[in-house]
Structure 1
Amino acid sequence: MTPRAPNSEELERKRRARELMRADRQGVLVSSPFLGVLAMRLELVPVIDSRVPTALTDGHTVYTHADFWLQLNEAQRLFVLGHEIWHCALQHFARRLEREPWRWNLAVDHEVNDLLMREGFKPLEGITHFERLRGQNAETVYEELSGSTKLPERDPRLADLHDPPGPDPNAPVQDPDYAPRQDPEIWRSWETRVRAAAQQAHAAGTLPGWLEARIAAAGPPSVPWQRYLQRFIQQVRGGGTRWLPPSRRHWGRGLYLPSRRTERLDLAVAVDTSGSTVEHWPQFRAELGGILRTCDDYRLRLLQLDTRITNDHVYTPSQPLPEALPIHGAGGTDLCVPFKHLEETPPTALVVMTDGFGPIPDQAPAYPVLWALTPGASRKPGWGKTATMRATGQS
């Protein structure tokens, strides 16, 4: 069978769907100014194509089957459009790494749908949402679903496609307007777009506090942790396994990811939660998320400190780092404290997030140390590796 292009009747349905999609973008802007600003950065393209039963995005464009769009009411269309925007804003396709696709699809759909419901969008009946996991991010939901003997199904009549289908000689109708791009670099641009949209909505007073905190927690780290950890930790000693070499299968996509041989990223992080760093805490939380997204399996020992250790906790995929991580401290600063605290149980490696105020040990410990410094840090330590975080909104 030779695939055909849409006929004249189908082209008329595409025209009607295109008009609706343009109006729906304005509807999203009214319902959620933050999402509406992001919607302006996406092309909206209805198609009549057998490969696209519902909707999908490649980071550049939202494609929808025209007939699917025409059968939805306005509230449903806004929900679906918001769903695709959030997939881009949260960079779900770049965050998957080596995770099992089906479980990850459920996890990211839950995260998106939960956010939309909290913003007041009316959900479609039968969408993926786990009531017991309200407020949890995709990584947490993914791990929670790992113990399920039978994963729930995604309703094919409603579920969007997470992997844009390519050429298919067996698809009877193929629309020339359907032309998804394979562009890994697009997700880098979404980091900047999300920060800009959040700043704009915050300045206008239209960004809810809970959403601002959520964006900061799940938002992009300013430090390229894949590269820094590759240089900083040449060998993770947990079980004698190596974090290197990277996975070659991802090189063609422009991604530098750990190989399947990775067993665990074993790392300690000391966060300076003294009074002088409180304003930097959202960025510290984003950097912690960036570290954890470098590896599927990890053991993160997180220390919080001011003039003493105020909190010492271990996080793993089964006990993940919470998004709303409370600050313990806000007093003075003594950066000698974490090294004294770790003398009896030295870590494989230590990352210290700080503004550099306060005393620092004269000598380096036996394990490697990376100082992650805030913008404008008062001074750089005389030993160890250093990385400087970007100022908020800086490219």
Structure 2
Amino acid sequence: MKEDFLHYLWRYQLFDVSSLKTTNNQPLSIIRSGLHNEDSGPDFLNARIYLEGQMWVGNVEIHIRSSDWYYHQHENDENYDAVLLHVVWQHDVEVFMKNNKPIPTLELRHFVNDSIVKNYQRLQGRSPQWIPCDTQIDKIDSFVMNNWLERLYIERLERKSIDVKEQLKKTDNDWEAVLFLLLSKNFGLNKNGEAFLDMASSIPFSVVRKESCHEERLYALFFGQAGFLEEEIEVSYHQKLKEEYKYLKHKHQLKPIPKKLFQFFRMRPSNFPTIRLAQLSALYTKNRSLFADLMACKQVEDFYKLFAIELADFWKTHYTFTKESKTSHKKLTTSFVDLLIINTIIPLKFSYQKSLGKLNEEELIELLKKVRPEKNSIVEKFKSLKLEVEDAFTTQALLELKNNYCAKKRCLQCAIGNQLIRN
């Protein structure tokens, strides 16, 4: 038995309230369970109970055993002077107020249905499980599941908006600069994301704005700041960018990051950091009002059009500066753009709309429902549990469910866990 389960039972009154009695056999009625207190002090504040023929208003403290009152030294804490009811699972010792009168105590175990306790213990069992409800999740009512997935996704966006706020602070509330930072990080994917973010952070976005109208300068700026123009390579294109970057570096007082931060090992050539840098350069060369255009997009196809880019001719026959390859245009694939929509654009839209007081959660959810589902081990495992996964909205919500609820066994805060416990 855990105390948070007792909090759950008391908060939602999941016990027989029709015949409650205290440990000294006094009839008890709960008018209001009180406000759950997440800070220090009694567990529930401003509760209302009917006891000894009159109404009482005060606080409720909850423990596994009555003796925990003394174990936690509440008798010495004035914050507990207004406790009017002690709710425990097991009454093992009398607890007294400062006037030496016993605190009215409710021994909850006598009033809770055994099935609720067994359902909770089944979810919290110690046997190894991928998620606590892995044998039951496919039985959850579709209405409950769909509503819970929406809430999970909004929670995920709220959490991601914290990073957006941090970036806004660093950029003096420049939304275009924040887009550049977040896009750069996602262009680097998992392996090179931090290196790309370091590169983008090393360039004031005002510089990107100034140089974006010159294709070669922007390529030189990004490759130079990423450290790829520091070495001597006998390739005319590399030498041309190097010379251009030398001028830009002096003009804007720039300092490149080390090239060694970027990884090539065990990567597909299409994901090489050199190719992703070239694509990022081409994107900002093509569109100088990228943030405004992205915020205005309402259909997935509109995003695909915005990200339809053409690389400089050199990169059509190269994956690196030194090795020539077969000709390929190396355009951004729809699957890559989908990742940008999921991880950058919609979280940024959420934060931007919220800042304007024009948040449209339904629009963002509907947009994500038109994006193909992600492919990863967590999603595949949920599929094996007979869940339907048809779009990126569902995959994002399931990732939130697994990482922030199932992995932490937060069944009491989960709509799925709640239904299983109450059934």
TM score, norm. by length of structure 2: 0.22
Greater helix share, 1 or 2?
2
Q: Greater CA radius of gyration, 1 or 2? A: 2
